[in-house]
């Protein structure tokens, strides 16, 4: 049942090709930094927590066959790789956190021989996989306390097993609720333009035997008005020190709708998603993606006039005042977020 989104097997990185889902479950073997960066850019692997591990492995793939003779030469190569991988996608904080973890492992082992440093870097990348599995389950455990049996939960994009290593943040809360014997019903927003909700969330919830209904993004408000949504749970790509949360485009819209309809709005994310150097969401870099994602579905048949101008931000920022609570592996944070984030989350 359980699928690892990214794994290290027999000298290569194996990822689930998320652009092939839901049609086919395809594993891709990746052997170079460039190939893994391409997979990240094209969203074959995506989801903030998964990108933390992917970034670390992307660096490892570039460094493992390095001919560097000493720490200094290795460090120069590593810095170059970190810059390269860091330019693949800008918004998810976890990607940079994964790179920082690799760089810290280098620093810790600077007095070791090059072969041992390399081994330590691989161990660090591997430990990020185990770390994520454990963190996701803790988030699930804390988060499920917010869910009552019978709840109908709306989610956006995919913050599930496919966005992490094997369990999920927002969907991890749902899996944990199910493990506690609670019955939950999920409404998955399809999440245009890349349809992660339709393709990934619907797929993995069904695999886990969760009752799921697919809707277009513009139908969420109607369900809320009908009183059919008890809670919203979403993931996050970057959370500022004040709690402002960047997540997949459409999240902010759902947060405003939740506030208007008095539906609790929860964010579920590991502490690696927090960026304490950023005071508010205004400073979070928002990626703009290619227009082709909007004008044609999966780059196939056009669905809009040729040459039409498109605005295609990949993320938006939900201001902290619209967030009911943030579920982390260190516990559930509630307002005032600035104080409570500072108290619980450390870099």
**Contacting a copy of itself (CB under 8 A), which of 3, 43, 112, 214?**
214
CB of 315 vs a copy of itself, minimal distance in Å: 9
CB of 43 vs a copy of itself, minimal distance in Å: 15
Determine if 265 is a binding residue for a copy of itself (CB under 8 A): no
CB of 237 vs a copy of itself, minimal distance in Å: 14
Distance CA 106, CA 80 (A): 14
Strand order in the sheet with 27-30: 6-9, 12-16, 27-30
User: Do residues 249 and 287 lie in contact, with contact meaning Cβ atoms separated by under 8 Å?
Assistant: no
- Using DSSP's 3-state secondary structure scheme, residue 160 falls into strand
User: Do residues 125 and 99 lie in contact, with contact meaning Cβ atoms separated by under 8 Å?
Assistant: no
Determine if 225 is a binding residue for a copy of itself (CB under 8 A): yes
Q: Which stretch binds a copy of itself (CB under 8 A): 53-61, 62-70, 207-215, 231-239?
A: 207-215
Q: Which residues fall within 8 angstroms of residue 146, CB to CB, at 6 or more apart?
A: 173, 231, 264, 266, 325, 327, 332
Question: In 87-113, which residue ranges form alpha helices assigned H by DSSP?
Answer: 93-108
- DSSP at 19: T
Tokens of 67: 């001919």
- Using DSSP's 3-state secondary structure scheme, residue 58 falls into helix
Q: Residue 11 or 23: which CB sits closer to a copy of itself?
A: 23
Active-site positions read: 237
CB of 205 vs a copy of itself, minimal distance in Å: 9
From residue 302 to residue 321, the character string flagging contacts with a copy of itself as x (rule: CB under 8 A) and all else as - is: xxxxx-xxxxxx--x-----
Determine if 189 is a binding residue for a copy of itself (CB under 8 A): yes
Distance CA 173, CA 29 (A): 30
From residue 286 to residue 305, the character string flagging contacts with a copy of itself as x (rule: CB under 8 A) and all else as - is: --------xx-xx-xxxxxx
Q: Interface with a copy of itself by CB under 8 A: which residues?
A: 22-23, 187, 189-193, 195, 198-199, 202-203, 206, 211-223, 225, 249-250, 252-253, 256-257, 259-260, 294-295, 297-298, 300-306, 308-313, 316
């Amino acid at each position: 049942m359980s699928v690892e989104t990214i794994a290290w097997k027999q000298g290569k990185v194996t990822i689930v090709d998320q652009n092939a889902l839901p049609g086919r479950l395809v594993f891709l073997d990746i052997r170079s930094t460039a190939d893994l960066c391409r997979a990240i850019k094209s969203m074959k692997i995506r989801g903030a927590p998964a990108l933390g591990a992917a970034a670390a492995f992307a660096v490892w793939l570039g460094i493992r066959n390095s001919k560097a003779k000493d720490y200094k030469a290795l460090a120069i190569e590593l810095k170059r790789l970190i810059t390269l991988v860091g330019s693949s996608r800008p918004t998810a904080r976890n990607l940079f956190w994964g790179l920082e973890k690799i760089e810290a492992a280098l620093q810790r082992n600077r007095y070791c021989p090059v072969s041992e440093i390399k081994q330590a870097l691989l161990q660090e990348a591997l430990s990020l996989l185990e770390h994520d599995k454990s963190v996701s389950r803790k988030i699930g455990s804390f988060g499920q306390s917010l869910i009552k049996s019978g709840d109908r939960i709306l989610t956006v994009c995919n913050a599930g097993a496919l966005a992490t290593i094997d369990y999920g943040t927002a969907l991890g809360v749902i899996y944990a609720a199910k493990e506690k014997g609670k019955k939950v019903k999920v409404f998955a927003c399809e999440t245009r333009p890349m349809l992660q909700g339709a393709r990934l969330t619907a797929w993995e919830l069904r695999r886990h035997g969760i009752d799921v209904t697919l809707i277009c993004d513009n139908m969420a408000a109607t369900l809320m008005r009908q009183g059919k949504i008890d809670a919203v749970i979403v993931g996050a790509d970057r959370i500022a020190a004040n709690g402002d949360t960047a997540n997949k485009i459409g999240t902010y819209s759902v947060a405003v709708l939740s506030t208007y309809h008095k539906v609790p709005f929860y964010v579920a994310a590991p502490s690696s998603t927090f960026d304490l150097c950023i005071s508010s969401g205004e400073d979070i870099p928002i990626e703009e993606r290619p227009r082709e994602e909007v004008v044609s579905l999966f780059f196939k048949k056009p669905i809009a006039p040729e040459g039409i101008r498109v605005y295609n931000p990949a993320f938006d920022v939900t201001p902290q005042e619209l967030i009911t609570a943030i579920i982390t592996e260190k516990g559930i944070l509630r307002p005032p977020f600035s104080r409570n984030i500072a108290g619980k989350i450390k870099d």
